[in-house]
Every structure is written in structure tokens, then in C-alpha cells.
Amino acid sequence: MKYGVVAFPSKKLQDLANSYRKRYDPHYEQITPHMTLKDAFEADDNQIKEISDEIAKIAKRHRPFKLHASRVSSFSPLTNTLFFKVDPSPEILAIHKDLHSDPFGKETKYTYVPHITIAQKMSDSEHADVFGQLKMAGINHEEIIDRIHLLYQLEDGSWTVFDTFRLTGDEQ
């Protein structure tokens, strides 16, 4: 089964992201707006208890963090994906690092770019057009994220929350 770890922003930021996703993101139906902290990974039923326990430990080591969505950006030319860029604060990078250290395997080979996807899988011309519009609209939103979620994916591609972990910082 595929699992992943995300933070869901506030209703306000999710509603804004969905106003774009509804039109421009074919994954709109599969999950509500989110910032991925750990990409989809395979685990079986036996492993997930251990993984869940490990994420619980990580959550206890980190305090709630500020999420600052500061501008609309694009992964082009890699992919035609538009997103709210989230400032890569030391706090966010530290959680990401813990979620990619043992026992989760080594660091990823890509630089982590915290973001909330708002559009993807567009043609080059649609991407250029929509990027122009959304850059103009812009984004500048700050909020506090105090929890992260472990999700699993259903056969139809949609995601269900398996567990929620409060960022308490109790065991720093």
C-alpha cells in the first residue's frame, strides 16, 4: 500500500488553493490541498505500525511551524506544475530531513521545495497562460501548522488519513 506524509493548511488557504485546483489540477478530487512532507512510499501492513510510531516520535521532536506561502511559482521546465511556494524555513526542512533519515532510508537526491500544488499536467501553452494570471494574483499568507498526517492511497488514487500527529516539541 502507498503511504505519504502531508500538512494540511487552514481552511482559508485550502479554499484559495482549491479555487485554482478545481480548474487546473486533475488531482483535485484525490486529496485536499496540502504540503507534502514525504512523497508516496510503499509499505505493507506489518511495517506501517513501526512507521507510524516513528512519525509520532518525529512529531514530538518538532514544534508547530510557520507556513509562509510567499509567491506563485512553477516547476517548469521539469513539469508544468504551478504551486504556492512555501518559504523553506529551517523548521520545515528539519521535519522533512527527519522523515527522510533512518529508518525511512537516506535523504532524497532532490532538493526539497516546500509547496502547495495549485495546477498541474497542463500543456505548455496553458501553463504559460495560467502562470501569467496566477503570478499576477500572487499569494502572501502566513499561518501556523501544528500537526502532520500520515495518509494511505486507495486504488482509485484518492488518499485517506491514517493518523494525525501533533507537533509538540515535547522531546526536543
Binding residues for a copy of itself (CB under 8 A): 1, 8, 11, 14-15, 18, 22, 28-29, 32, 147, 149, 152, 154-156, 158-164
Q: Which amino acid is at 102?
A: D
Minimum CB distance to a copy of itself smaller for 131 or for 159: 159
Q: How far is the CB of 108 from a copy of itself (least distance, A)?
A: 25
Contact by Cβ (8 Å): 33, 17: yes
Q: Which three cell numbers stand for residue 57?
A: 516520535
Q: Is 62 a catalytic residue?
A: no
Phi, psi of 131 (to 5 degrees): -60, -45
**3-class secondary-structure state, position 12:** helix
Q: What one-letter code names the amino acid at 130?
A: V
Which stretch of DSSP H or E encloses residue 45?
helix 45-61
What is the smallest separation between the CB atom of 32 and a copy of itself, expressed in angstroms? 5
Beta bridge partners of 82: 74, 119
Indicate if 34 belongs to the active site: yes
The SS3 call for residue 106 is coil
Considering the complex, state which of residue 76 and residue 153 has its C-beta at the smaller distance from a copy of itself.
153
Q: Supply the Cα-derived Rg of the chain in whole angstroms.
A: 16
Polymer length in residues for the chain: 172
* Least distance (Å) between residue 153 CB and a copy of itself: 8
Q: Which of 62, 115, 127, 149 is catalytic?
A: 115
34 or 127: CB nearest a copy of itself: 34
| Set 34, 68, 127, 149: catalytic member | 34
6/139 with CB nearer a copy of itself:
6
Say if CB 66 and CB 144 are below 8 A apart: yes
Shortest Cβ 155–a copy of itself spacing (Å): 5
Return the active site residues.
34, 115
